[in-house]
Amino acid sequence: MGFLQRLDRAWEANGSNLCVGLDPDPAKMPERFAASRNGIAEFCIEIVNATADLVCAFKPQIAYFAAQRAEDQLETICTYIRENHPDAVLILDAKRGDIGSTAANYAVEAFNRFGADAVTVNPYLGTDSVEPFFAAGGGVIGLCRTSNPGGDDLQMLDTGGAPLFVRVAEMISQRWAQLGDCGLVVGATYPNELAQVRSIVGDLPILVPGVGAQGGSADEVKSNGSRRDGHGIIVNSSRAVLYASNGDDFASAARTVAEETRRSCSP
């Protein structure tokens, strides 16, 4: 089953558009995890178990693992999710972007090593740079409009009557969608542009980071980004869920925040 089909099933299974992002920061976890050799995996697995019935997807952010020399723990987490919560879609947030044989190696990393259903990629190198990901049979989610202020620097440049991010939305929906299962990233901090991208890309899924700690509104994301069936969006919250508490109640606190966010962003 491909990424889009698995995602449709995941949206339905829990009636949820929520994605919990796994950005493990040892300094913010309860102390007992920071002290353990596999504390990152142990912490993330507790978060996964506390929220799995509330989400459509989990999205580990690989930078947090790379900085801690913890790729092995990321493998453990991905295997755990696939075996114990098989309905949840697994998105590797890696924002890869390279050419030819290098991209093919990144596809092996995302789809074979970590068993992800989809990987986030950067569109700057163009369509041929993502072909190896499609050839490997995985899903590809291209950055379109990012949630940070500096996103304007290039993404808002006028390219003959439309900003660059609109050209990216067109490239993904017209060209990438012919090659395989794909989606786009649009930050929750830009609700108007989310509506604009939705009007361009038809029913393609849109991954929306920036809800919670970054200040985006889940309600606005739902009204501006979802499809007629109420799904179509993957609304990510990372820090607000993971670090809802750093005490012994961190898992139940994470669940409470996940429940609230799910309610705001789901049909």
Which residues are identified as catalytic?
Answer: 95
By DSSP bridging, strand 233-237 and strand 57-60 are unpaired
Do the beta carbons of residue 98 and residue 125 sit within 8 Å?
yes
167 in contact with its own copies (CB under 8 A):
yes
38 Cα distance to chain centroid: 24
Cβ distance to its own copies smaller for residue 10 or 185: 185
Say how far apart CA 20 and CA 59 lie, in whole Å: 6
Residue 150 engages its own copies in binding (rule: CB under 8 A): yes
List 2, 5, 32, 67, residue binding its own copies (CB under 8 A) = 67
Closest to 74 (Cα-Cα) out of 110, 107, 28, 106: 110
Residue 39 or 97: which CB sits closer to its own copies? Answer: 97
The contact mask relative to its own copies for 90-129 (x = CB under 8 A, - = no) is -----xxxxxxxxx-xx-xx--xx--------xxxxxxxx
Within 8 A by CB and 6+ apart from 153, the residues are none
Q: Is residue 155 involved in binding its own copies (CB under 8 A)?
A: yes
Closest contact distance (angstroms) between CB of 211 and its own copies is 14
Tell me the three state secondary structure of residue 169: helix
Residue 68: CB minimum distance to its own copies, A: 8
Neighbouring-strand partners of residue 208? 235
Binding site for its own copies (CB under 8 A): 23, 25, 61, 63-64, 66-67, 69, 71, 95-103, 105-106, 108-109, 112-113, 122-129, 143, 146-155, 157-160, 164, 167-168, 171
